[in-house]
Homo-oligomer: A and B are copies of this chain.
Amino acid sequence: MDLIARLRAGLPGEAILTDPDVTGSYANDMASFCEAGTPAVVVLPRTVEQVQHVMRTATELRVPVVPQGARTGLSGAANASDGCIVLSLVKMDRIIEINPVDRIAVVEPGVVNAVLSRAVNEHGLYYPPDPSSWEQCSIGGNIGTASGGLCCVKYGVTAEYVLGLDVVLADGRLLSCGRRTAKGVAGYDLTRLFVGSEGSLGIVVRAVLALRPEPPQQLALAAEFPSTAAACEAVCEIMARGHAPSLLELMDRTSVRAVNAMAQMGLPDTTEALLLAAFDTPDPAADLAAVGALCTAAGATQVVPAETAAESDLLLQARRLTLTALERVKSATMIDDVCVPRSRLAEMLDGTAAIADKYDLTIGVCAHAGDGNTHPTVCFDAADPDESRRARESFDAIMALGLRLGGTITGEHGVGVLKKEWLARELGPVGLELQRGIKDLFDPLGILNPGKLF
């Protein structure tokens, strides 16, 4: 094997996996129904030089490279292609620096989000991005997919925390871009171009991340609504009145019931929509009281503020369990990720319910409501071809609805394999041409994560 022999010239033996039973386990991320090929080899470099060696080898032999983090992605962006090198960054997992004065961390891509979050907490600092998979997902993967989370309504997405990057390019050269300063405008923002690029432009081997001071412990409330539209009205009022909740999440009845069925959380089974709001402000009780009043005015039948941090955590835990709970409703799920202007959220949810009716399917919806970012989750029986077809059609209908409402096909999960036909629809021909041009510029041989995005 020429490829393996050449990889061995610059990588230690234990960094190269070739046993098909082992390499096969690296074929997929967590997306459903996305094609995945069979990798030729999996490499697990520990240094920048080793990554450079892999990319030089791949360029020389014209072998596709699929970069991977923790493979918790939901769009197939980390799925292998046939004969590819899977380049797993999980062994590059050092936190190189945490600097409270500059409020930055310098990390390798394999650092797990929760590990970094806890490490910076010890310095009184806060790394906000908190995807649901934060206990497993890696910073490199977060950067590749521009992940979000519950925190975004107040703290924004991963992109806003990436100041600088070291990137190994397709040909093995090392690029340093961005900065470790608070500000900087020297040239085009290449750093931001890599964020969300799903490994299609280069391999992130080091990141300078912005940190924030650790906020006070957040306190949450739960409000029950007789309709999703009423809950959305409350969301709009809360945001229009200038409140800054640290999270603002919505669960529809299907989601609430699924969570209760799995975990006996005692959520109000009969409600049509449960809204969770939290504040990490100096006086969260006062903020919750004001928001509770807005919920009542919008039609909430019950508003229950948590009295302690433990009670708040329990509410958030229920929210975090939603996807797992919905996965138990039927044998399979497809989770969508459509973001609309929050003023259109009610229409998005009503429209999704209409789609569920039309296709005769169960679609549970949880949403980062404050961001207008919904996760309609289609539950279906994968063994039933007709139901599977309807699931895929309803999934597409949800994206079409999002675009009609001025939204995007993906708020935080990315495009990957799952939505590449839809990316072209969202971007239009001019945008698509420029995006392809950027891809060609960074990866003229087309070896970096081929078949993703476009």
**CB pair A124 B242 closer than 8 Å:** yes
How far is B101's CA from A366's CA once the two chains are assembled, in angstroms? 20
| CB-CB under 8 A for A371 and B182, given A213-B242, A343-B101 | yes
| CB-CB under 8 A for A341 and B181, given A124-B242, A188-B197 | yes
**CB pair B179 A408 closer than 8 Å:** yes
**CB pair A187 B342 closer than 8 Å:** no
**CB pair B192 A193 closer than 8 Å:** yes
Over the window 420-446 of chain A, the binary record of Cβ atoms lying under 8 Å from chain B Cβ atoms (1 yes, 0 no) is: 000100111011001101110110000
> Smallest distance from the beta carbon of A133 to chain B beta carbons, Å?
16
**Which residues between 235 and 253 of chain A lie within 8 Å of chain B, taking CB atoms?**
236, 239-244
Considering residues A124, A174, A188, A281, which has the most beta carbons from chain B within 10 angstroms of its beta carbon?
A188
Considering residues A157, A182, A241, which has the most beta carbons from chain B within 10 angstroms of its beta carbon?
A182
Kindly list chain B residues whose C-beta atoms are within 8 Å of the C-beta of A100: 239-240
Kindly list chain B residues whose C-beta atoms are within 8 Å of the C-beta of A125: 242
**CB pair B196 A183 closer than 8 Å:** no
Kindly list chain B residues whose C-beta atoms are within 8 Å of the C-beta of A428: 176
Q: Is A175's CB within 8 Å of the partner chain B?
A: yes
Residue of B186, B201, B423 near A186 (CB, 8 A) is B423
Residue of B169, B183, B282, B413 near A157 (CB, 8 A) is B183
**Which residues between 339 and 362 of chain A lie within 8 Å of chain B, taking CB atoms?**
339-343
**CB pair A339 B434 closer than 8 Å:** no
| CB-CB under 8 A for A410 and B174, given A124-B242, A434-B190 | no
**CB pair A186 B409 closer than 8 Å:** yes
How far is B428's CA from A431's CA once the two chains are assembled, in angstroms? 29
| CB-CB under 8 A for A184 and B99, given A174-B430, A430-B169 | no
Q: How large is the interface on A (under 10, 10 to 19, 20 to 34, 35 or more residues)?
A: 35 or more
Q: Is A180's CB within 8 Å of the partner chain B?
A: yes
Residue of B243, B339, B427 near A181 (CB, 8 A) is B339
How far is B146's CA from A115's CA once the two chains are assembled, in angstroms? 33
**Which residues between 98 and 155 of chain A lie within 8 Å of chain B, taking CB atoms?**
99-104, 124-125, 145-146, 148, 152-153
> Smallest distance from the beta carbon of A377 to chain B beta carbons, Å?
18
**CB pair B282 A412 closer than 8 Å:** no
> Smallest distance from the beta carbon of A409 to chain B beta carbons, Å?
6
| CB-CB under 8 A for A185 and B442, given A175-B431, A435-B190 | no
**CB pair B189 A196 closer than 8 Å:** yes
Q: Is A404's CB within 8 Å of the partner chain B?
A: no
Q: Is A376's CB within 8 Å of the partner chain B?
A: no
| CB-CB under 8 A for A431 and B240, given A182-B372, A341-B180, A441-B441 | no
Residue of B99, B186, B282, B283 near A408 (CB, 8 A) is B186
**CB pair A406 B180 closer than 8 Å:** yes
Kindly list chain B residues whose C-beta atoms are within 8 Å of the C-beta of A68: none
Q: Kindly report which residue of chain B lies nearest to residue A237, judged by CB atoms.
A: B101
Q: Kindly report which residue of chain B lies nearest to residue A238, judged by CB atoms.
A: B101
| CB-CB under 8 A for A372 and B189, given A103-B239, A244-B213, A428-B176 | no
**CB pair A189 B195 closer than 8 Å:** yes
Kindly list chain B residues whose C-beta atoms are within 8 Å of the C-beta of A242: 124-125, 213-214
How far is B214's CA from A413's CA once the two chains are assembled, in angstroms? 31
Q: Is A415's CB within 8 Å of the partner chain B?
A: yes
Kindly list chain B residues whose C-beta atoms are within 8 Å of the C-beta of A184: 339, 408, 410-411
Kindly list chain B residues whose C-beta atoms are within 8 Å of the C-beta of A103: 239
> Smallest distance from the beta carbon of A313 to chain B beta carbons, Å?
22
Over the window 370-393 of chain A, the binary record of Cβ atoms lying under 8 Å from chain B Cβ atoms (1 yes, 0 no) is: 111100000000000000000000
Kindly list chain B residues whose C-beta atoms are within 8 Å of the C-beta of A241: 124
Q: Is A62's CB within 8 Å of the partner chain B?
A: no
Considering residues A182, A185, A192, A414, which has the most beta carbons from chain B within 10 angstroms of its beta carbon?
A185
Given contacts A183-B372, A213-B242, 7 further A-B contacts (CB under 8 A): A99-B343, A153-B182, A173-B430, A174-B430, A180-B406, A187-B453, A281-B282
